[in-house]
Each structure stands twice: as C-alpha cells, then as structure tokens.
C-alpha cells in the first residue's frame, strides 16, 4: 500500500496541503495545571474570548495553528476541538512533556521508564488524548488524537532529566511517524537536541526547534539549518525598543538560502498577549503588522508563503513508518 502523508488535527487527519497558512507554535488553550498555578496570566480557557481571537486571526488569513501544550500542562483537547469547529481553523494538539519548570520536582514522569513514557505519548497519538491530561493514574480517553510530540529542553541542551523523555519521543516517532517539536530554553541547546534525536534514529527534517530566535547569532542558526531541522521563529513582538532580532535572523536566513526551513509562530501563551483579553499584540499580528515589517525588509509574499504554508505542510506531516 502506498503511504499517503497526513497532518493529524483535533478534528481528524487531513492532507498536508490542506493545512494552509499556519502558525507553527501556539497556545490556544491552557486550562489550569502547573503553568497557571505559577502564572495566572497563562490561563486560556474562555471559549468565547478564544473563539473571537482565533476568528480575528482567521479574518487576517490564518488557516491552521499547532497548539504546543504537552501532557499535564493544562491541555483541554475538547476545548481545542470546539474552537476548531467554531472557527474552521485547523488545530493540532500535542503530547510529550514540557520544560521541567512546568512539570516540577516530584512529577510522575521522573519515576517512569523510557518505555512507559513512549507508551503514554504513543497512546495520545494513536488512540486519543486523555480527557484528564495525564494528571493522575486514571485515564479516560477522548476521541481527539495528538499530531505532534512537544519536548521541553533545558538550557544549553537536554539535561539528565530530559534525555529519557527525548529518547521516548524518538521511539514514538519511529513507531508512529509523528513529527517532533522542541522548546529551546532561552533559545539555546538546539544543536544538542537535534544530535540526541537524530542519534536515536529520527531524520532531522522531522524535528522543529522553537524559540531559537532568542539567540541572534548567525553562526548558531547556520549550524541548525545545516543539521537539516526546521526552526520556528516565535519572538517577533518581544523586542521592545531594541532592534528586532527575529527580523534580522529572517533576513540572514533569506540571504543564506535557508527560508525552506523557517516557520513562524507567536507563542502567545498569555491573556496579556491576546486582543480578546484586552492584551497586545493579538493573534493576528504575524499576518498584519509583522507581515508589513517583513515586506519592508524584503521578505515578500512568496517568501512568507514558504514560511507560513509550504514549510509547515512538510514539518507537521507524519512520516512513513518502516514495517
């Protein structure tokens, strides 16, 4: 049988070409959990406000978003599905585990074996995400499946705590074809993450690295591109009065011929970033103000289309699994 690539959304599998204009690292829903206990501004669970926010972005051209909240971090897959049904924006849900600051020092994952972690992540991908977000030993599965494994990496590269989680994700990728996505703490550690995952058998083009535009270093980014992995630049609105490092990196990537590995996102994981909560810049920003800024720096509609449409369709498609 011929393998047909697909992207796994909360409402079912779709052809990669159907994804369209995509934000590659978002947080549409954060419904409690440790992140919200640490920072109440992270709470994103008001269906009316979130619908309004997503509709405004859809009006600006958004067609899909990858929600990057992994297990036991405030996932609510039913709410994501409801938002997708209401707005017709394709949404992809994640499994995996976040940075240790969001799982804490006594988390169940610290006592799980690598195989047990792989089985939990794989069940979210193949069967369905736990209604209770793996917050406890009782699991009740929804009908909504995860389409990406998100991994929280530590400063400078995977820590002792991170390594079994990364290896478990690599095993799940080899078993299911699911794409992998990492959090780079302060933008660092991307190369070490790629090395660990490719060492465990994952092809680099199945990996995407987020937050790396926090490090405005051309050599670091060239090395990531040479590794074959994708990047998600998601810091566009966070530069204040300083020179915009995200725009600088985009210019360099274009000059170096690496736009085929760049995706964009907002990582707008706070009420204070969303217009529907009275915040700034609002989810539509990348397609409005920031697209104008990119245009002014020579990143024309064709370049933006690669980053918003063509690259996500490849980066978030499931790979064929060797049998």
Q: Shortest distance, CB of residue 68 to Zn ion, whole angstroms?
A: 5
CB 244 within 8 A of CB 213: no
Q: Give the whole-angstrom CA distance, residue 295 versus residue 278.
A: 27
Continuous H helices in the chain: 34-38, 47-59, 77-87, 114-126, 162-176, 190-199, 218-227, 245-255, 289-296, 301-305, 311-315
Q: Which is nearer to Zn ion, 5 or 32 (CB)?
A: 32
Rounded distance between C-alpha atoms, residue 148 and residue 29, angstroms: 16
Closer residue to Zn ion, CB minimum distance, 184 or 249: 184
Q: Which residue has the tokens 């217009």?
A: 275
- Least Å distance, CB 26 to Zn ion, is 8
- Of residues 173 through 232, those in contact with Zn ion by CB under 5 A are none
Candidates 174-182, 220-228, 252-260, 265-273; binding stretch for Zn ion (CB under 5 A): 265-273
**Omega within 30 of 0 (cis) for the link into 281:** yes
Least Å distance, CB 272 to Zn ion, is: 15
Helix (H) or strand (E) holding 24: strand 22-26
Give me the least distance between CB of 286 and Zn ion, in Å please.
Answer: 15
Nearer Cβ to Zn ion (10/68): 68
Q: Are strands 207-210 and 180-184 parallel, antiparallel or unpaired?
A: parallel
Q: Which is nearer to Zn ion, 24 or 89 (CB)?
A: 24
What does the alpha-carbon distance between residue 321 and residue 229 come to, in Å, rounded to a whole number? 19
Q: In the Cβ-directed half-sphere of 71, how many Cα atoms lie within 13 Å?
A: 28
Q: Looking at 267, 283, 290, 291, which residue binds Zn ion (CB under 5 A)? A: 267
Can you say whether the dihedral through the CA atoms of 181, 183, 187, 192 is positive or negative?
negative
From the list 4-12, 155-163, 194-202, 267-275, the region that binds Zn ion by CB under 5 A is 267-275
| Strand blocks (E) in 60-170 | 64-67, 90-92, 94-97, 148-153
* β-strand pairing of 148-153 with 94-97: parallel
Question: Between 267 and 310, whose beta carbon lies closer to Zn ion?
Answer: 267
Report the C-alpha gap between 209 and 223 in whole angstroms: 13
16-75 residues near Zn ion, rule: CB under 5 A: 68
Nearer residue to Zn ion within complex by CB, 5 or 279: 279
Stretch that binds Zn ion, among 83-91, 152-160, 195-203, 261-269 (CB under 5 A): 261-269
Written as six digits, the tokens of 32 are: 């409690």
Nearer to Zn ion (CB atom), residue 68 or residue 178: 68
CB of 130 vs Zn ion, minimal distance in Å:
20
CB of 25 to Zn ion, least distance (A): 6
- Bridge partners of residue 310, in order along the sequence: none
Min CB(228)–Zn ion separation in Å: 23
Tokens representing residue 286 in the block = 């990348």
Cβ proximity to Zn ion: between 68 and 122 the closer is: 68
Under 8 Å between Cβ of 253 and 212: no
Total number of residues that touch Zn ion (CB under 5 A): 2
To the nearest whole angstrom, how small is the minimum distance from the Cβ of residue 211 to Zn ion? Answer: 7
Q: Minimal CB distance to Zn ion: which residue? A: 267
Question: Using CB under 5 A as the criterion, what x/- string covers residues 119-148 for binding Zn ion?
Answer: ------------------------------
| Residues of the shown chain interacting with Zn ion in the complex, contacts defined by CB under 5 A | 68, 267
């Amino acid at each position: 049988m011929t393998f047909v690539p697909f992207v796994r959304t909360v409402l079912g599998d779709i052809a990669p070409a159907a994804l369209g204009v995509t934000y590659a690292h978002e947080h549409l829903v954060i419904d409690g959990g440790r992140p919200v206990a640490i920072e109440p501004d992270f709470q994103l669970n008001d269906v009316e406000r979130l619908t309004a926010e997503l509709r405004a972005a859809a009006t600006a051209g958004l067609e899909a978003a990858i929600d990057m909240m992994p297990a036991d971090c405030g996932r609510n897959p039913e709410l994501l599905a409801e938002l997708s049904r209401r707005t017709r924006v394709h949404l992809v849900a994640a499994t995996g585990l976040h940075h240790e600051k969001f799982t804490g020092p006594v988390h169940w994952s610290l006592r799980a074996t690598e195989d047990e972690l792989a089985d939990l992540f794989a069940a979210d991908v193949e069967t369905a995400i736990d209604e209770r977000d793996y917050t406890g030993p009782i699991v009740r599965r929804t009908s909504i499946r995860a389409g990406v494994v998100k991994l929280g990496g530590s400063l400078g590269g995977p820590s002792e705590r991170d390594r079994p989680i990364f290896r478990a994700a690599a095993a799940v990728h080899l078993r299911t074809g699911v794409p992998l996505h990492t959090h780079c703490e302060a933008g660092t550690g991307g190369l070490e993450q790629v090395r660990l995952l490719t060492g465990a058998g994952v092809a680099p083009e199945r990996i995407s690295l987020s937050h790396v535009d926090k490090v405005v270093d051309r050599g670091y980014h060239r090395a990531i591109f040479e590794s074959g992995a994708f990047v998600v630049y998601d810091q566009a609105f966070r530069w204040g009065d300083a020179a915009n490092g995200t725009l600088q990196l985009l210019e360099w990537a274009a000059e170096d011929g690496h736009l085929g590995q760049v995706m964009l996102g907002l990582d707008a994981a706070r009420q204070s970033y969303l217009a529907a909560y009275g915040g700034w810049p609002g989810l539509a920003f990348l397609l409005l103000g920031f697209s104008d800024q990119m245009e002014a720096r020579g990143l024309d509609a064709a370049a933006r289309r690669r980053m918003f449409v063509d690259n996500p369709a490849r980066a978030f498609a499931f790979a064929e699994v060797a049998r």
